[in-house]
Each structure stands twice: as structure tokens, then as C-alpha cells.
Amino acid sequence: MRKRDLLASILAVGCARHTSSQGAPGEADVAAHAPTAAEALGVRAGTSPAPPSAGDSAAAGSPASESRAGPASSGSPTATMKLLDPGRAPRHKLRYTWRPDRKELLAVDLRTATSTETPGDQPTEIPLPPLHIVISIDPRSVAADGSLLYAWQVTSATVAENRDTPPQVADGMRTELSTIARLSGTAEVSTRGLATEVFVDPASVTDAGATGQMIEQVRQILRDLAAPFPAEEVGLGARWQKLSQLASKDARITQTDTFSLLELTGNTGTLDDVLAQTAPPQALAASGLAPAAQARLESMLASGDAKTHFDLSRLAPETRFDGTTTMVVSGQSPSDRSRRLTMIMRVGIVLVGSTP
């Protein structure tokens, strides 16, 4: 969503700034190479533009029918959209009617609480400072098939002061956010709310020596911004599912989004989105660790719930998301000294669209 996409940089920055100098990966080393929070809550890797998504080719009215949504960038898997229940009559095809003369602003607020636990030690909470990002959306044109091409630009990216946050973590977050201070590009989204292209202008990237995670997270926000609709006609109570096999740079993750249409009045409505994610045990990318050191994901389980208020004439919705991710990560060095780390992240994200 949409609402999960800012999270990748949180642990990567908050933990990577405290890397261990020992041969074996310590807590910070393991955490920095674990699936980061956004990857645990729905991030998609990849940097190149995507082919267009499938249109409205699925048969309408069949709860068992499926349609394919093309990936928003290379490296992103194709998502399977499946209608579970068409809902009550009357039913309609939910489609956006984009207005090329309507500029928008998207405000993103993120609050995160994390804790880490190793065997024999008390859980250690890492307070992370709240983030606030504003992105402008400037429509350029509406194609014959109804898809919207728009330009976007980050106009503000700030880290709020938090006396409970370690200075190194806050400084790391500011460094990471500085890479997107002038970030801009273009994007295209279909009438079903499926992004078909999100392009970042390389000249707009600020090289601040950061990980670059925030650049990808802005792309993720835009890629999953609009509420996605099935190909079929739906009514109140309708339910549909989006299944993705996510292959990020760090891990392989299975994500299921189950949407329910709670309200629909004219061009506006409300969706409930229940998220579930799992990942099989797997080795993790180990860049930055000692050559023979390893990091391994033992288990990962994420869950969350979002309420999205959409307007079929606007791209940016109002979304509130709360989620929890639990990951167990291990690390081992040539000396056979091993570590096992449990990370728990509780996240609250608010997306609010407005007209400037």
C-alpha cells in the first residue's frame, strides 16, 4: 500500500549506523541485513519502468475469476487479482476518472516503535523519530484508455525531534531523507488504480552517502498509492484479493492483501485492507558484513489493517494503517559464534491527499 512503503529505510538506517566491529555479525549487523520493515510489509524491489498492466479482460461477475496486474518495475512480480465475493446488487465496475487539471498534494506521516531481543537479554526498544514527507502530484495527460500520466516531486522531507531517539539514529534518518530532498519523476496509473510506470529522474537524486532506501520507498508509495480495483463489477460487501510473491533485494516474501468494500456513495468509498505476509527461512544479502559472515532469516510474519477512503476523481487517498512485523534473524561467523535476534516492529502510517 500505498501505506507500507516508507518502512524499508527505518531499520536499515536505524540499525546500520551501529554496525559491529567484531568478526561475527552483532545485533545491528543482523538487523541491518534482515528484511527491512517495508519489505516485511509489502515492498517491491526494482528500478526500471514496468510494462502496462492487464486491462479489464477478466470475465465480469464471476467470484472465482482472476486478472493479472503488471509489475510496476522490473524485478517486481506480477500480482494476481482475484474476486472473492462480488457483493450486493447494484454492482458497478469501479474505475477512476482522472482529471488532468487537478493538482494534488500527498502527505505521509510515519511513526514506528521497534524492539529487539536476543537470548538471555531483556528486549531493547529502539525509538525511531516520526517522519513527514510531502509529494506534489501534477497531472500531465489522460490517455485514450483513461490512464493518467503525471509528474511528481518531493517538496518536503523532515525528521521530527524525539528526545528518546539516540542521536546516531536521528542523524542516520536525516541523512537518508536528504537523498530525496529534490527527488522527482513521472508516473502512470490505470483506471483500476494499478501503476504501470514509476520513473525517478536520476538528476534529482541527492548523493548524501546514504543507503538509497528512501528513493525506492518514494517509488513504492507512488506505485501502490491508489486503491486497486478488480476487473469485475462489485457492490457493497464485495471482497477481492491481491496475491504477490515479492522478491526484494534482501528476501523472498509472500504477501496477501484482502480488500473489502465497506462504503460506496457516488465517486467516494471506503475499503478495508487486511494484510498478511510470510517468508520462508533463507539466507539474506550480506553486503557490509565480514566476508565469511552470514545473516539468515529464520522466520517472518507480518499482519496489518488499513482503512482507505478513496475518491474516483483523485489519485491520493486518505489511508490509516497499523501493522506489526515479527522477524527472527540469525548470524554466524567463521569462529562459530552465532547470534539470534528477534525484531518486532509496530507501525502507524497516515496518508492524506489534498488539493493545493
Could you tell me the residue ranges of all domains in the chain?
Answer: 2-111+122-242+253-324+336-354
For residue 200, the model assigns a pLDDT of 94
Chain Cα centroid distance, residue 3? 6
For residue 194, the model assigns a pLDDT of 87
For residue 32, the model assigns a pLDDT of 41
Side chain identity at residue 87, one-letter code: G
In whole angstroms, give the CA distance from residue 192 to residue 312.
10
In whole angstroms, give the CA distance from residue 205 to residue 97.
32
Q: Domain 2-111+122-242+253-324+336-354's class?
A: mainly beta
For residue 213, the model assigns a pLDDT of 76
E runs forming strands in the chain: 66-69, 79-85, 104-117, 124-127, 131-142, 148-159, 184-189, 195-200, 239-247, 252-265, 268-279, 282-283, 294-311, 318-332, 338-354
Chain Cα centroid distance, residue 164? 26
For residue 249, the model assigns a pLDDT of 53
End-to-end CA distance of the chain: 23
Instruction: Give the other-Cβ count within 10 Å of 1's Cβ.
Output: 26
Q: Dihedral angle at the C-alpha atoms of 199, 202, 208, 209, nearest 10 degrees?
A: 90
For residue 209, the model assigns a pLDDT of 66
Instruction: Give the other-Cβ count within 10 Å of 336's Cβ.
Output: 7
Q: What is the mean pLDDT of each run of 10 residues along the chain (356 residues)?
A: 39 36 36 38 28 29 37 47 96 95 95 80 76 96 96 94 76 85 95 90 82 80 91 97 70 85 96 91 61 72 94 96 89 58 89 93
For residue 220, the model assigns a pLDDT of 80
Q: Retrieve residue 27's grid coordinates.
A: 545485533
C-beta of residue 213 within 8 angstroms of C-beta of residue 36:
yes
Instruction: Give yes or no for a cis peptide into 90 (omega within 30° of 0).
Output: yes
Nearest to 126 by CA among 39, 16, 213, 24: 16
In whole angstroms, give the CA distance from residue 47 to residue 35.
18
In whole angstroms, give the CA distance from residue 246 to residue 259.
19
For residue 67, the model assigns a pLDDT of 42
In whole angstroms, give the CA distance from residue 251 to residue 17.
21
| pTM score, whole prediction | 0.75
The alpha carbon dihedral of 57, 63, 66, 69 has a sign of positive
Nearest to 194 by CA among 262, 141, 147: 147
